[in-house]
Amino acid sequence: MLLEVRDLHVEFHTRDGVAKAVNGVNYSVAEGETLAVLGESGSGKSVTAQAVMGILDMPPGKISGGEILFKDRDLLKMKKDERRKIRGQEMAMIFQDALSSLNPVLSVGEQLGEMFVVHRGMSHKDAKLKAVELMDRVRIPAAKERVGNFPHQFSGGMRQRIMIAMAMALEPSLIIADEPTTALDVTVQAQVMDLLAELQRELNMGLILITHDLGVVADVADKIAVMYAGRIVESAPVHEIYRAPAHPYTKGLLRSIPRLDQKGRELYAIKGLPPNLLHIPPGCAFNPRCPMAQEICRGEVPPLFEVAEHRESACYFWKETLDAR
């Protein structure tokens, strides 16, 4: 397995108390595989990714338990410098907002070339050639002329391509894309997503795709992990989850996708709000919003039940949920 996250716990120590952002997450990604991590804002999907990447702000963040195995080595036990060398070379990250994620005062050529200068000890001249090559590869027109341009001189889609090029630069084996298309126009979203999927296939990389866009997921992901209040509530191969969700939360998410054949009717929304991470409700964190909640849901945190092969759900009533579609 390329990456295995085991029982990861992350807390944030704030003035108001300890916010439990990630509470025992398990997931794994194999080479060439795409895992989509789904969830609302504050569900812990980005925090988990930042912990894997090693870019969590600590403090206030703190990894309070678990293991992150990357190529069978625990990242959390590594020395700082060892960990740094893995970043960029063996795993890379694509961020949501390319405009703010790229340095405004350095040319894109410098920012791309930097990867080769730092990790490969290349000269600035050679690194610039590499930068042009990368820009060509992500299909930025007139790459040679534009290598000296600054991020603000590119369109949103082109900027995100540069982000992708930067992540691909050293051909890492794992890419984490944190909502890579959220900030883009719908027309550009598909192009960027296609490019990402294509490069992933070419380089046989593992891809963790963090998103709340269910439409994006269906096309590219192999499997899905749905997160809620810092836990994975359901994980399954992508098509099965669309066919029959085994957790009321997933069901709610799927129902809230606007559909053309429901034009004129009120849009569905899951009632209530995501829980405050300072005070996660006891038992199943989803119980206050869940239409199926019973007494048992307010007592113990539900474990992950094996629904089928490679399918798990953290709901006491997963059978009923499956059947009730």
Site string for another protein, 117-156 (x = CB under 8 A): -xx------------------------------x-x----
Q: Quick check: 207 binds another protein (CB under 8 A)?
A: no
Q: Looking at 14, 64, 103, 262, which residue binds another protein (CB under 8 A)?
A: 103
Least Å distance between CB 100 and another protein?
Answer: 4
Residue from 6, 9, 85, 137 touching another protein (CB under 8 A): that is 85
Taking CB under 8 A as the criterion, the residue among 58, 78, 106, 188 binding another protein is 106
Evaluate whether 270 touches 256 at the Cβ level (below 8 Å): yes
Which amino acid belongs to residue 252?
G
Q: Is 142 left (phi over 0), alpha (psi -120 to 50) or beta?
A: left
In this complex, which beta carbon is closest to another protein, that of residue 105 or of residue 260? Answer: 105
Q: Does 179 bind another protein (CB under 8 A)?
A: no
CA 288/CA 282 separation, integer angstroms: 10
**97 lines the binding site for another protein (CB under 8 A):** yes
| Closer by beta carbon to another protein, 115 or else 196 | 115
CB closer to another protein out of 177 and 232: 177
Q: Does position 115 bind another protein by CB under 8 A?
A: yes
Single residue of 53, 63, 224, 322 touching another protein by CB under 8 A: 53
Pairing status of strand 223-228 against strand 231-237 = antiparallel
Q: Toward another protein, which CB reaches closer, 28 or 89?
A: 89
Helix (H) / strand (E) element for 14: namely strand 3-14
Examine residue 105 and tell whether it contacts another protein (CB under 8 A): yes
Note whether 314 binds another protein by CB under 8 A: no
Residue 92 lies near another protein (rule: CB under 8 A):
yes
- What tokens does 154 get? 């590119």
- Residue 89 binds to another protein (criterion: CB under 8 A): yes
Q: Give, in order, the Cα–Cα distances in Å from 15 to each of 44, 255, 278.
A: 19, 37, 11
Spell out the residues 6+ positions from residue 284 whose beta carbon is closer than 8 angstroms to its own.
290, 293, 297, 298, 301, 302, 314, 315, 316
Out of 11, 33, 114, 179, the only residue in the binding site for another protein (CB under 8 A) is 114
Which residue number, 106 or 214, has a Cβ lying nearer to another protein? Answer: 106
Number of residues that bind another protein (CB under 8 A): 28
**What one-character-per-residue DSSP string does 67-83 give?**
EEEETTEEGGGS-HHHH
Q: Which is nearer to another protein, 207 or 307 (CB)?
A: 207
- Interface stretch with another protein, choices 12-20, 86-94, 205-213, 302-310 (CB under 8 A): 86-94
Which strands make up the sheet holding 34-38, listed edge to edge? 91-94, 174-178, 206-211, 34-38, 223-228, 231-237, 311-313, 305-308
Among 6, 62, 87, 137, binds another protein (CB under 8 A): 87
Who contacts 254 (Cβ-Cβ below 8 Å, separation ≥6)? Answer: 214, 242, 245
d(CA 277, CA 281): 9
Please give the residue ranges that form the binding site for another protein (CB under 8 A). Answer: 53, 55, 57, 84-89, 92-93, 95, 97, 100-107, 114-115, 118-119, 150, 152, 166
